[in-house]
Structure 1
Amino acid sequence: MIIAIIGVCAALAVLGFLVPRLSRHPERGTQRTLGAGSRLGGKAPGILGRLLSKPFRSSSRAVGRSGSAGRRARRRLPF
């Protein structure tokens, strides 16, 4: 799962750099999927619920940051 998230983050960063407007939809779709996994994991009782939902929350945060980093880098270009 870690390698898949790294690949998605890299793809979103490149997509955000090359076509910033078109990177929003895949980013939101990925975050929606990870959010569903987080909600499902959070339904487990007590500490187990927090432990099961944490990887999905941190992955969703990483996806958002990588997409915005690509768009931010594109914005800073001189052309």
Structure 2
Amino acid sequence: MMIAAVIGLCVVLAVLAFLLPRLSRHPQNGAQRTLGLGSRAGSKAPGVLGRLFSKPFRSSSRAVGRSGSAGRRARGRLPF
């Protein structure tokens, strides 16, 4: 369930970043902030469990950032 939500969010952010590059920053930052909260909450578990619980949120946050920047980069490469 969470994987599908993150993939959907990445697709929406990439399309938004391609169509409206400046307006895509705020939703991207909000999504990364929310995923950062999950990562910090998961990392409070002791030892190896903390790393295991926070890893999905860290990688999801990185994916959201990459999809937004990829949409803006593709828009910047257009000839018009």
Give the shorter-chain TM-score range. over 0.9
Q: 1:1-79, aligned counterparts within 5 Å?
A: 1-79=2-80
Counterpart CA distance in 2 for 1:33 and 1:4 is 13
Could you list the runs of 4 or more consecutive aligned residues of structure 1 that deviate by over 4 angstroms after TM superposition?
none
**Any stretches of 5+ residues in structure 2 without a counterpart?**
none
Counterpart CA distance in 2 for 1:16 and 1:69 is 8
- Residue type at the aligned position of 1:32: R
Counterpart CA distance in 2 for 1:32 and 1:65 is 15
**Any stretches of 5+ residues in structure 1 without a counterpart?**
none
Counterpart CA distance in 2 for 1:75 and 1:40 is 36
Question: Matched residue pairs, number?
Answer: 79
Q: Percent identity?
A: 80
Across the aligned residues of Structure 1 and Structure 2, the Cα RMSD in angstroms comes to 0.2
- Residue type at the aligned position of 1:25: H
Deviations 1:27-79 (CA, angstroms, capped at 9, x unpaired): 00000000000000000000000000000000000000000000000000000
- Residue type at the aligned position of 2:64: V
TM-score by length of 1: 1.00
Counterpart CA distance in 2 for 1:6 and 1:26 is 15
3-state DSSP of counterpart to 1:39: helix
